[in-house]
Amino acid sequence: MPLLHSKTAPPVAQKRPETTAQLGRERHDDYAWLKDDNWRKVMDDPSLLDKDIHAHLDAENDYTKALMSGTKDLQVEIFSEMKGRIKDDDSSVPSPDGSYAYAHRYRTGDQHGEYYRTKRADIGGSRETLLDADALALMYKKQGFSFFDIGSLAHSDDHKYLAYAVDVQGAERYDVTVLNLQTGAPIGKPIENTAGDLVWADDAAKNCLTLFWVERDDNNRPSKVWRKNILDKTAKPVMVYDEPDAGFFVSLGGSDTGDYVEISCHDHTSSEIWIIPAKTPETPPVCTEPRQHNREYDLHDHADDFYVLTNESGATDFKIMRTKQAAPGAEHWQDFIPHTPGTLIIGLETYENHLVRLERKDALPRIVIRDLTTNTETTIDFAEDAYALGLVGGYEFKTNIVRFSYSSPTTPGQIFDYNMETGERILRKTTEVPSGHNPQDYTTKRIQITARDGEEIPVTLIMRTGFKNDGKAPCLLYGYGSYGITIPASFRTNILSLIDRGFVYAIAHIRGGKAKGYDWYTKGKLATKHKTFDDFVDVGHGLAALNYTSEGRIIAHGGSAGGLLVGAALNQAPELFGGVIAAVPFVDVLNTMSDESLPLTPPEWPEWGNPLTSDTAYDTIASYCPYTNTVDANYPPVLITAGLTDPRVTYWEPAKWAAKLRDHQKGPAPIMLKTNMDAGHQGEPGRYDSLKETAFEYAFALKVAESFE
């Protein structure tokens, strides 16, 4: 078949060997030169990319384009299918706030949509446009920017002003503009170089209107908090907080009641919260409890109390504690909802009379509502074998309505309003599939596969109803397995294009996520990180043993840290996979974790270990790093994607890996690299443009699957 046996010659990257000495060890890198010495400036201006590097990435793109040229019609077909499952003129459920209700909608043909509001008393009535994102994207395009993404958007408490953040490079550096909603005119000049977080103070009664934002430093790390009274034309921004530790990122939020502006400082395992009264934003921030290694906490205010969601005192799956706002320190925290091993508390929200928590047990979520006046609890869950459930949140604290989302691999997404006083559940929206969708045509299963060390790995499967377990079906096996992130068993219309063509789709809920609680996360990080990769390989073998597919018919799919997953699994068991899709893959772990100038490196050390200071961390990372462990093998076809301005997985990681894989390829299958020269980690931001990227990946999977016959 053309994809596997094309006569098109692959690009050959120059070898410019470099040797690095570290902790008494040496490592060699032929392709370190692909990292532009001027990479920080390239993030902001891609035209500054070194010409040799640019030429190589262009050659890789040309090669991939040539090999995939025979799939153009298939890509168009898949794109049309996926687009046909999206309602062109869709809208979110308006969220009430005071006399207004705020929402977002897509008009026919929109890529980014329109943000609007209606009168609360007439939600179905006339709409007031707050921001036309498609018109804004067009304006930037005319200025020469091909990328456009809205980071966040926040209206002031008096409903008179709107702040929004825009990224036009894909590097996640956002410029913030404030609009006067009465005139539509911008207030002052845009605030540059922010992380996108925006919080308004509640000081309109003082004839002020203070906006808080987070600034990125020279290494693209969110590290400083600023504020400014936007009504004072002579006022200069005031720095509120400056994070001294490069290993901690800073973010902003508003408390549940709106009474506080919260500054959160965090790495992956520790946190610290500073608070500022929203009505007096000039007040210096107060640290509620100093950071402590491996302790996480967040605060939820209610009346005179803070409810604290924390893993304090060995509460592995978290518990809820309570303290007075006047005494927020940990020495005053008292147990309120105790720790229950195996039941992970994921999130918490407070309302005037209720406490709402989202939990996960045995890889399934549920919502638990506690009436704070009676201390009785109500649970919301569903009967399907696998499903996704989430708290949607809103603007209001004094309400008896909690909004949540529900879907399953076969059930389109739904939005419910639940009356916490009466128990009434109101369906506000069901995701429409214009081209048609019959849930009975598909079957979802949740199975357990035993790993090599005896652990039971949950796996979510979706297939056509009537699927035969004869081992002949191709399988797209998806996984992530890092940072405690759990892949939800939600409705994904895109994957139906593969399932309808005979694929079985599998999500491996491997260690490193939190599918089975926080302990499931700790069992797949640092010194035990190899368990993540072992689990993924064992799930592949298990699916073949159960005849859902066969070894060699599995296409591994993962992105970012999931790209690390599929890269490590590929090195471990290349014969298991018939193909690999590695999206913006984090595959050069040892070099990246040894470069503390990179944006994410210091905050990532709690996840991977610090190979600059620890022999154990160095050797552990070196044992699984896909780039380090590339060896001579008969690799299957591999499709690798990258984003030139990606600050999370820098473009040179996938570029180096592609070159090294090709060096060691002993079989005929191609190693393909596609770099988006105009985007970053998330790829194309528009709702239709992003589908084209997915259609490209799925066309690769289908073309590879043809060779299984």
Question: What letter represents residue 185's amino acid?
Answer: A
Q: 């909690």: which residue's tokens?
A: 402
φ and ψ of 623, to 5 deg: -75, -20
Residue 54, classified by CB atoms within 10 Å of its CB into exposed (0-12), middle (13-18) or buried (19+), is middle
Helices (H), 589-651: 589-593, 601-608, 615-624
Catalytic residue among 560, 588, 594, 707: 560
- DSSP label at residue 71: G
Rg (CA), the chain: 25
Contact between 588 and 577 (Cβ < 8 Å): no
Question: What letter represents residue 91's amino acid?
Answer: S
Contact between 200 and 281 (Cβ < 8 Å): no
Q: Which residues contact 174 (CB under 8 A, 6 or more apart)?
A: 151, 152, 165, 166, 167, 194, 195, 196
Best CA proximity match to 485, nearest among 449, 459, 524, 446: 524
Largest CA distance in the chain: 74
Contact between 538 and 452 (Cβ < 8 Å): yes
Contact between 228 and 218 (Cβ < 8 Å): no
Contact between 520 and 511 (Cβ < 8 Å): yes
Count the neighbouring beta carbons within 10 Å of the beta carbon of residue 325.
17
φ and ψ of 692, to 5 deg: -65, -35
State both tokens at 160.
């008179």
Give CA–CA dist 360/214, Å, rounded. Answer: 32
Q: 């040229």: which residue's tokens?
A: 69
Name the strand (E) or helix (H) holding 633: none
Asked about 441 being catalytic, the answer comes back as no
Give CA–CA dist 549/660, Å, rounded. Answer: 30
State both tokens at 579.
């193909």
Asked about 646 being catalytic, the answer comes back as yes
State both tokens at 201.
């103070």
169 HSE (CA, 13 A, CB side): 18
Contact between 582 and 640 (Cβ < 8 Å): yes
Give CA–CA dist 691/671, Å, rounded. Answer: 23
- Cα angle 191, 195, 199 (rounded to 5 degrees) comes to 75
φ and ψ of 630, to 5 deg: -65, 125
Q: 């809820």: which residue's tokens?
A: 320
Asked about 110 being catalytic, the answer comes back as no
Catalytic residue among 155, 557, 646, 707: 646
State both tokens at 635.
């690799």
Give CA–CA dist 260/281, Å, rounded. Answer: 9
Catalytic residue among 56, 339, 509, 681: 681
Give CA–CA dist 169/250, Å, rounded. Answer: 22
Which of the residues are catalytic?
560, 646, 681
